[in-house]
Structure 1
Amino acid sequence: MQHTILVTARTLDAAGMALLEQEGCRTIFLSGAGDAAEVEAILGNEKVDAVISRTVDLSAGAIQSCASLKVVSKHGVGVSNIDVQACTSRGIPVFVTPGANAQSVAEMTLGLMLAAARSLAHMDGEIRAGRWTRLQNGLELKGRTLGLVGFGQVGRLVAKFCLALGMRVAAYDPHVKEDSASGEIEWLADLDSLLSRSDVLSLHVPLTSSTRSLIAAEQLGKLPSGAILVNTARGEVVDEDALIAALADGRLYAAGLDTTAEEPIAADSPLRRMSNVVLTPHVGGSTHAALAAMALGAARNVLGYLKHQTLDRDRVVNFNQLQPEVHGGTHVL
C-alpha cells in the first residue's frame, strides 16, 4: 500500500528520502508560500497518511482537516509548532527524533559561548568596516562556572566540552535524577541556586507552559554581574525585553542567541544593534550530519507506525495521553 507523506518544508535530506522512496511512498513538499496556510490547504485537499514536521506550524485546523492523517513526526525534538493536543484528541501519535542533532546543537552552544566571551562578531564587523578595533576586555572561560538549565543529551555534551576547557559545571533539571549526572558536575535542586553560581548560563529546555519566560528580569538579576547568557533552546524561554535591558545596562556581559522570541528576528529589534550580542538564525541543528540523522529518524518514525503501529515511549511525546484503544493493536517499545 502506498503511503502519502507531507513534509512541511521544501526539501528533506537524501537519507530520509531514500528510505521513503524504498517503501514506495508518495512525498509532498511545500512549494508555495511555505507557511501554515499552505500546510492546512494541502492537508485539506490531499489524502495524507503522515506528516514530517519541520518549523512551519501544524495547527489544530490543519490536523482536523485531514481525516486520513495517522501519525506526525517532528524533524527534531521541539514540538512547540505542532498542536499536540489536537493530535492526541484524534489518537495521532506525535514522534520526535531525540539525539539526532544533539552533537551539532552542543557544538553551536560552545561556539556562541566563545564568540560572546571574546566579542568575535563585533570585532569581525569592525574589521570589515575598515576599523582596527582591538578589544582587550575578553573573558577567559577557564575557572568560570557554567550553569546548565536542562540536562538532556545536548546539555550533557555541553558539560563535557566545558569541563575540557577547565570550567566548573553546575546543572538544574527537575526531570533528571541527581545520580545520573557526572561526578564532576554540581547538581542543584532549584533554579535560583543555579543562577547565583552561573558565570555562563546555557539553556537546554523545550518550550512548554512552564518554561515560557522561565528566564525573566528576576532570574537575570540573580546571575553574577557580568554573566553571559547562551540560548540554543527556544527564544520564548527568555523574556526578551528583560534580556535587552540587562545587556544594555551592563548587568550581562554578553549573550549568544541561536533562537529569539520572533523568528525571523524583527528588523527593529534592539538585539540586532547590540555589539555584545551574537546572533544566529536558529541553525544549531542545521549541519549535514544532523539534518541527515533527523530526516532518517523522522522517516523511520512514520513508517514504523504506518507499517507496524510501533509506538516508542522515548519518541512519542503524547504516549501517555493517547486514548487506550490506540495501544490495542500497536507494538509498544
Structure 2
Amino acid sequence: MSTQAFTVFVTAPKLASSGADLLAKAGARVIYLERGDDAAQVERIMASEPVDAVISRTAELSARAIASCPTLKVVSKHGVGVSNIDVAAASARRIPVYVTPGANAPSVAEMALGLLFAAARRIAWMDAELRAGRWSRAQDGIELRGKTLGLVGFGQIGQRVALACQAIGMQVAAFDPALQSSPVPGVKLVASLDALLPLADVLSLHVPLNKHTRGMLGAAQFARMPQGAILINTARGEVVDEPALIDALRSGRLHAAGLDTMAVEPLPAGHPLATLPNVVLTPHVGGSTPAALAAMASGAAANVLGWLQGQPVDASRCVNPEVL
C-alpha cells in the first residue's frame, strides 16, 4: 500500500503544523472534524470514509465508531489520557492505540504550579476585587515553604512539579503503584493513597482516568488530609467526587482548590464551583500551550505514520501492547 493512499482522521477542527506537515510530507489524505467533541460526527465519518488512522483529540472514539470502520489500522491519542477512546474495542481488532508521553508534561506541570500559587495566595480573588474597585488585601495566604506536597501519580508531570516545589523549600511525597523507587532524589514514595493523604498540605493529582481512579477522592479522603489543605487537579475531573469537594471547600476543611478540569466540561452555568471564592478555575488548558500542542501533534503523527509505514515507534508509547 503506498503512502499516497493513507487516510488520517483528526478528531478536531485542526492539528498543529508540526503534525500536519508530517502527514502532508507522507502524502496522507487528512480529514478533520468540523466541530470539536462531536461524537456523532466522528461515527459518521468513521462509517463512511476509508480511514486508516485516527489522531484522537477530545471527542469520543466509541466502540461503534471503531467497529464501523473496517479499514482502521492504528489510533494515536493527541496526549496521554485515553478515557475517550474505547481501547478494548480497538484491542479486539488488534488495533494499537498509541499516546504521546511527555509531550505536554512541561506545560501541564507549569499549569499545576500556577494553580497552586494562585490558590495558596488567593491571587484570582484579589485580582477580581481590585478590578471591581475594592482594595481587598487578603492576608491569610499560605506560605508553601516547609509544607508537604503530596503527588498522586509520579510520572513526567509529577516529577517536574516535585522538582519545582523542592526548589521553594517544600517537602515532597508521592504515591504511584507503578514505581518501586523514586526517580527524583529527596521525594518519599509511600505505599498507598491512604498513607499519602495525612502528609499532604497540598495534594496534586497526576493520574489517568480509569476504573481505579474514578471517584478516588471523596469525603473520606478529604477528612484524612491536614486541616486547610489545598487540592490541585490538572488530571481529570472525574477523579474527584465534586459534591464532596464543594462541601470540603465550603466548610474550610480545604483551604482552596485549583482546578484545570471538572467532571462536566464545559462547566455548566451557575455551577457551585464557580461561586466559591476559594477555587481557581481554568478550562482544561494545562496541555494547550503552542509548544505542547506542537509536540503532541508531531508525536501523534509520528505514531500513526510509523505503524502505517511499517516502522512502529517504541512499544512504550502503546497502551495496549498485547496487540503488537
Q: Do both proteins adopt the same fold according to a TM-score greater than 0.5, normalized to the shorter chain? A: yes
Structure 2: how far apart are the matches of 1:72 and 1:151? 26
Q: How do 1:153-192 and structure 2 match up within 5 A? A: 153-178=156-181, 180-192=182-194
- Aligned equivalent of 1:95: 98
Q: 1:33 to 1:253 in 2, by over 3 A?
A: closer
Q: Any unmatched runs of 5+ in structure 1?
A: 328-333
RMSD between aligned residues: 1.1
Select 2:46's aligned residue among 37, 43, 46. Answer: 43
Select 1:249's aligned residue among 248, 251, 259. Answer: 251
- Aligned equivalent of 1:23: 26
Q: 1:245 to 1:34 in 2, by over 3 A?
A: closer
For the residue of structure 2 that corresponds to 1:58, the secondary structure is coil
CA deviation after TM superposition for structure 1 residue 167, in Å: 0.4
Q: Spell out, residue by residue over 1:162-209, the C-alpha distance to the aligned partner (whole angstroms, 9 max, x if none).
A: 00011010111111112x433311121121121001000000010010
CA deviation after TM superposition for structure 1 residue 110, in Å: 0.3
Select 2:219's aligned residue among 183, 202, 217. Answer: 217
Find out whether 1:202 has 2:210 as its counterpart: no
Q: How do 1:11-160 and structure 2 match up within 5 A? A: 11-32=14-35, 34-160=37-163
Structure 2: how far apart are the matches of 1:61 and 1:304? 25
For the residue of structure 2 that corresponds to 1:229, the secondary structure is strand
- Aligned equivalent of 1:330: none
Q: 1:33 to 1:21 in 2, by over 3 A?
A: closer
Determine if contact 2:222/2:248 at 8 Å carries over to the other structure. yes
Determine if contact 2:112/2:234 at 8 Å carries over to the other structure. yes
Structure 2: how far apart are the matches of 1:118 and 1:75? 33
Report the residue type matching 1:17 in the other structure.
A
- Aligned equivalent of 2:290: 288
For the residue of structure 1 that corresponds to 2:291, the secondary structure is helix
For the residue of structure 1 that corresponds to 2:140, the secondary structure is coil
For the residue of structure 1 that corresponds to 2:309, the secondary structure is helix
Report the residue type matching 1:240 in the other structure.
E
Structure 1: how far apart are the matches of 2:222 and 2:23? 46
Moved over 3 A (4+): none
- Aligned equivalent of 1:6: 9
- Which TM-score applies when normalising by structure 1? 0.94
Structure 2: how far apart are the matches of 1:100 and 1:310? 18
Which sits farther off after the overlay, 16-25 or 311-320?
Answer: 311-320
Determine if contact 2:12/2:36 at 8 Å carries over to the other structure. no
- Which TM-score applies when normalising by structure 2? 0.97
Structure 2: how far apart are the matches of 1:201 and 1:297? 30
Structure 1: how far apart are the matches of 2:308 and 2:21? 17
Alignment coverage as a number of residue pairs: 321
For the residue of structure 2 that corresponds to 1:6, the secondary structure is strand
For the residue of structure 2 that corresponds to 1:107, the secondary structure is helix
Determine if contact 2:13/2:35 at 8 Å carries over to the other structure. no
User: Identity of paired residues, percent?
Assistant: 61
- Aligned equivalent of 2:274: 272
Structure 1: how far apart are the matches of 2:74 and 2:183? 34
CA deviation after TM superposition for structure 1 residue 132, in Å: 1.4
CA deviation after TM superposition for structure 1 residue 309, in Å: 5.4
Structure 2: how far apart are the matches of 1:243 and 1:260? 11
